[in-house]
Amino acid sequence: MAEGRLQATVEVFLKPGVLDVQGKAVEKALHGLGWPGVSDVRVGKTIRFALDPADPAGAEAEVRDMCERLLANTIIESYRVEIA
Amino acid sequence: MAEGRLQATVEVFLKPGVLDVQGKAVEKALHGLGWPGVSDVRVGKTIRFALDPADPAGAEAEVRDMCERLLANTIIESYRVEIA
């Protein structure tokens, strides 16, 4: 059922205000390598997958459900879903 | 110098063919939660930052240089740069 297959992309980032230690480490390293103009570094996750949805019209809602239940920790993380 | 500031987004993924164990784990978990239609899961990193480039025209080349030197392990990872 390759025709019914969708491509989902989920971006998960720490919410603004939550300290991003990985981002801070990358920022410090970039400054050290000679890029002082870099600031506000945030590091997030991107999850990509193929999806053969039960109901194509509800694919985005289905992926949001996956985020709520597994892919994101919604206490500290926000997510963005893209379906193509 | 807020006018000169650009927003950079870097996506880093394992190259096709490189085993993505984190992706496999997510896939198995989604199957277990009742989404058997999910396949080909890949987990990557997204790095976002503000950039005050030495030379605005060369900003993308500058960010590519950051990827080569720090943000990606180009032996096993590929990256995509977006400047806005």
What are the pLDDT digits (tens) for B29-52? 999 999 999 999 999 999 999 999
CB-closest option in B27, B53, B70 to A30: B70
* ipTM at complex level: 0.89
Q: Which domains does chain A have, with CATH numbers?
A: 2-71 (3.30.1280.10)
d(CA A49, CA A22): 25
Average pLDDT over residues B4-18: 95
Tell me the mean pLDDT per 10 residues along chain A, length 84.
80 96 98 96 98 88 97 98 95
Tell if the CB–CB gap between B46 and A48 is shorter than 8 Å. no
Residue B56 pLDDT grade (very low, low, confident, very high; cuts 50, 70, 90): confident
Q: Which residues of B touch A71 (CB under 8 A)?
A: 26
* B17 close contact with A: CB closer than 8 A: no
B12 in Cβ contact with B41 (< 8 Å): no
Q: What is the largest CA-CA distance in chain A?
A: 51
